[in-house]
Structure 1
């Protein structure tokens, strides 16, 4: 099977592994906080028998690679290998070569927030560019393929078991701060995977759809998509307008719609990522390029 690896993806996976490792070494390990997945097992071994996580990460993942390689597409598998081995390399670097003093045992809440922010950001970058760090992701793929178990549920159960096992070296106070770190990390992963900028998707149901569409094009420098619709109760056909705008344009748009048709029905939904001709995350004012209105939504 032909590989289609991209240098950009590999570079960002390496960056994500570096950010992840920095957070794990300087905030989890130095402040005795746990973590889920294979990383959590690495921390258990580190705190109980001083086994270097840079080594245990490879030792644990190698048999998982042999068991699960056929459940990955080839590109995914190569990116996962890069993510896993680079994670071990950066763990070694931040433990032994580039060290910092981030001991925050006097303020475990701050330590947990930093741990979640760095680990979540690192994993989010790795996931966004097609990689993983191996571990429970491989186990989840195997159980999904063989037994039909949902991957998300399998990973949740494994993470919960590993975090509970971490009580062998944690007290309940450290456990609660670990849960804070895990929660923050999960939110960071979502933000990075979905995009930090949230645009708004607006659907407009109105008898004056043509007039509203014209005003959006003229006043907002955007276009709209007209979708054929039919009222379920009245059976009357109408055009449904679909438009994507930045958050700071929503109030103006609703005011415009209400002015033209006070009886219009409008829904507004979050759009976590926008790309394509006419939209880019480069505009300093609102995050969206507003040029080329006739192609934005068509």
Structure 2
């Protein structure tokens, strides 16, 4: 059941990516790096649907990866790569996609957000859509260039080709979109499993721990500390909660242990019992 859920979510993710490409980027010739941007630029030179070009380029890249770096790519990545080409082909063949907006700036911003969301959902299932990440891994193995720099090099090459195909203005919008997608993907991934780390310094350890364990149904860890100024021994309760659970705990502390000292910080992910699986 877990595997099925991962494949369903991967399909949703690549469908969102395909939608962003077909309804925001491709109609306005915005090549935001990657294989999709390369396909769009090449489409200006040879009359082949971008979906077909994406499939061909990814097939070539996966084949190169297999022979040059051992092909350490999971079944989910291969599945996601194929599904994205299939969904793009469905859009192009049956829906005749047209730009949602003719404003380049709006298409750049909102298209980047849509692509980043779909990419984040796909990445979160431990899958990817191939593309320039494969090129980056090949460059890393043979030229010892960090993967991040390899990705940047590959995407910049696509952007230069886009400038040649569509002009400087659209090429720069493509570069801006690639940058926005890179930033937003991390933000969306962090938002898929948001939790809060909470430290409570309290003199009512049992009261607080019992509430966390029994009322909120969460675990906690009891630490011992010593006041830097008072030199007094103290108890510190550490726990990880969802935002809703934290609000419940904060209200309880306010009512039952107002002298407690509480700190909270955002955590981008929590894995293990009670949270997401590894």
Shorter-chain TM-score bucket reads 0.7 to 0.9
Which of 28-37 and 83-92 deviates more? 83-92
Query: Superposition pairs for residues 134-153 of structure 1, below 5 Å?
Result: 134-153=130-149
Structure 1: give runs of 5+ residues left out of the alignment. 281-298
CA distance in 2, matches of 1:245, 1:81: 35
Specify the alignment match of 1:225 in structure 2: 220
1:46 aligns with 2:43: yes
SS at match of 2:192: coil
The one of 117, 127, 135 aligned to 2:113: 117
Q: For residue 129 of structure 1, report the CA deviation from its aligned partner.
A: 1.9
TM-score after normalising by structure 2: 0.77
Specify the alignment match of 1:193 in structure 2: 189
Which of 267-276 and 133-142 deviates more? 267-276
Specify the alignment match of 1:162 in structure 2: 158
Specify the alignment match of 2:34 in structure 1: 37
CA distance in 2, matches of 1:17, 1:46: 21
CA distance in 2, matches of 1:221, 1:88: 45
SS at match of 1:30: helix
Query: Superposition pairs for residues 248-259 of structure 1, below 5 Å?
Result: 250=246, 253=249
Distance change in 2, residues 1:215/1:134 (3 Å): closer
Query: Superposition pairs for residues 48-197 of structure 1, below 5 Å?
Result: 48-69=45-66, 70-73=69-72, 76-102=73-99, 104-105=101-102, 107-196=103-192
Root mean square deviation of aligned Cα: 3.5
Contact 1:213–1:223 under 8 Å retained in 2:
no
SS at match of 2:97: coil
Distance change in 2, residues 1:268/1:179 (3 Å): farther
Structure 2: give runs of 5+ residues left out of the alignment. none
CA distance in 1, matches of 2:224, 2:153: 44
Matched residues, number: 271
Contact 1:33–1:177 under 8 Å retained in 2:
yes
Indicate the structure with greater helix content. 2
Q: For residue 24 of structure 1, report the CA deviation from its aligned partner.
A: 1.0
